[in-house]
Chain A
Amino acid sequence: MDFPLLIGIFPQVLLDGLILGFMYALIALGYTMVYGVLEFINFAHSEIFVVGAFVGVEILLTLQAAGLLEIFSPFLVLLVVLLLGMLASGLLAVTVERVAYRPLRGAPRLIPLISAIGVSFFLQDAVRLVESIWRNAFNLVYPTMDTLNIRYSFTETLDVSVKSLVVIVASLLMLWGLHALVNRTKIGKAIRAVAEDQATASLMGINVNRMISLTFLIGGAMGGAAGVLFGVQYSLINPYTGFIPGLKAFTAAVLGGIGNIPGAMLGGLVLGLLEAFAASYLSLLTGGAFGAEYKDIFAFSILILILIFRPKGLLGEVVRERA
């Protein structure tokens, strides 16, 4: 076994894992926050993510066509794209809740779930339809910006692109911002109160429906941010891109303890790191018997093991309710 190589690639794998993990964490927040307030899995969330990615690519392509892409600072451009992607995804999520979930609030649990799957298909094909008419293509590539593709080589086996740093910094800022919002602001505390007990929250004067909309807005915005960052990092997107990251982010939310916000962040990071390490190390450690294509099997086996021993997830609720 080539130990210097195993150790040498470690920083790069760690970096890749973190980027993937932050992406999962951002998406997982949308699943877990909505589950927290409604005990319902919003299966359309992966499409909320995709719409963010498409809004981002459209803005960048439009700027590029107008010859403006390289005029402004790429960081400023990215910031604007990120904010608009978040806004679009957030508002879309609010609309989806209002139209497809709220009328079913009193229905048996399976019904809104089916509605969510319907919304998911609808959004996939709506994006495909719009892009097909508009660009005659629905597989789109994020335009490159020279500054973002500069790579810094730290060692022989570690080089870091500017865009990776941007993705990491943006993710950290957003996760920190969300954490502060939920724990330090009155609105964040109200969201947590609604998540715990809607009826009692309403007795405090909290407008429960407004808080539910706000939860979709915030969760959707995080998903939209992840969409834009996904496009920046991995370039290629299509209307169905959301499926796998969405499924994995949902898994990450369950791993962290569904409904638990720090849990979604942790679960995302754990899953991203597991996947990255499996992809790079499996074939090296098994002498090629298991290649990188086994990364999901490896990652999910570990998840299953964790959930066997901690069925409520890593940070699942353990507060005992007193009578």
Chain B
Amino acid sequence: MLDVRDLHVYYGEIHALKGISFRVAQGEIVTLLGNNGAGKTTTLKTLSGLLAPRRGDVLLNGASLAGAPPHGIVLKGITHVPEGRRIFNRLTVLENIEMGAYTRSDRGIAEDMERVFAIFPRLKERRAQVAGTLSGGEQQMLAIGRALMAKPRLLLLDEPSMGLAPVLVEQIFETVQAINRQGVTILLVEQNAAMALSIAGRGYVLETGEIALSGAAADLAGNPEVRRAYLGEA
């Protein structure tokens, strides 16, 4: 489905991604692991069009996304839930969800909204509330719910567990799996490697802008290097 080929991205003179290549197949959950500054967020931002690569290409079902603006990429079926959730604080919960469906004008919107509310009943209770007043966990639910409204075929999730209590993290990851079971392909960026590897089928490990390791999630979870560097084993 997604084919990333030799992607080079720069921030000014800083070479942030040094030629990474990876694939995500239809229906998979793939995780990108790595430390702060390894290039995980940069990768997602490039995929969603917020950053332009200097070299390399991204193919979605064989068609290049080169030069497409972020709003064009949404139309092609990729939705990005950015790091830090980035909900619209001054809009209500309902308005945030409506913005998720901005590209759509079909009759299924109301139905999909009910589906999002079924996944996150808390959002339904708070739909008239200004989103900036939600708790961190609720904001993450809103960010994911909002993204689902675009009916993505590929969902890019950037650190959905960041800053959340463990019980909430578990809930969010269960939701991510449920979304995946409904047919949405997922590319998951996480610092919480243990959690990410437990739901992903495959994973890639990024180190300073390059892919250092890749493989099935179970293999990565068993890899001594990964265990030492990302799973907190001595």
Interface residues of A (CB under 8 A from B): 186, 189-190, 192-193, 196-197, 199-208, 317, 319-323
Interface residues as binary, B63-83 with A (CB distance below 8 Å gives 1, 0 otherwise):
000000111001100011010
Interface residues of B (CB under 8 A from A): 48-50, 69-71, 74-75, 79-80, 82, 84, 86, 88-91, 95, 98-100, 102-103, 130, 132-133, 136, 139, 146, 150, 163
Residue pair B132, A204 in contact (C-beta under 8 Å): no
Known contacts being A320-B132, A322-B132, is A196 close to B89, with CB within 8 Å? yes
Residues of B within 8 A of A204 (CB): 71, 74, 99-100, 102-103, 146, 150
The distance in angstroms between the C-alpha atoms of A207 and B50, with both chains bound, is 13
Nearest 7 pairs of A and B residues by beta carbon: A205-B74, A205-B103, A202-B70, A319-B132, A200-B86, A204-B102, A204-B99
Known contacts being A189-B99, A203-B74, A203-B80, is A321 close to B89, with CB within 8 Å? yes
The distance in angstroms between the C-alpha atoms of A201 and B48, with both chains bound, is 12
- Residue of B82, B99, B132, B150 near A321 (CB, 8 A) is B132
Known contacts being A189-B95, A189-B99, is A317 close to B90, with CB within 8 Å? yes
* B118, chain A: closest CB distance, angstroms: 22
Known contacts being A200-B82, A203-B80, is A192 close to B91, with CB within 8 Å? yes
The distance in angstroms between the C-alpha atoms of A323 and B139, with both chains bound, is 10
Residues of A within 8 A of B49 (CB): 202
* A256, chain B: closest CB distance, angstroms: 15
Residue pair B74, A322 in contact (C-beta under 8 Å): no
* A210, chain B: closest CB distance, angstroms: 9
Residue pair A203, B79 in contact (C-beta under 8 Å): yes
The distance in angstroms between the C-alpha atoms of A319 and B90, with both chains bound, is 7
Residue in B50, B75, B102, B146 whose Cβ sees the most chain A Cβ within 10 Å: B102
* A73, chain B: closest CB distance, angstroms: 39
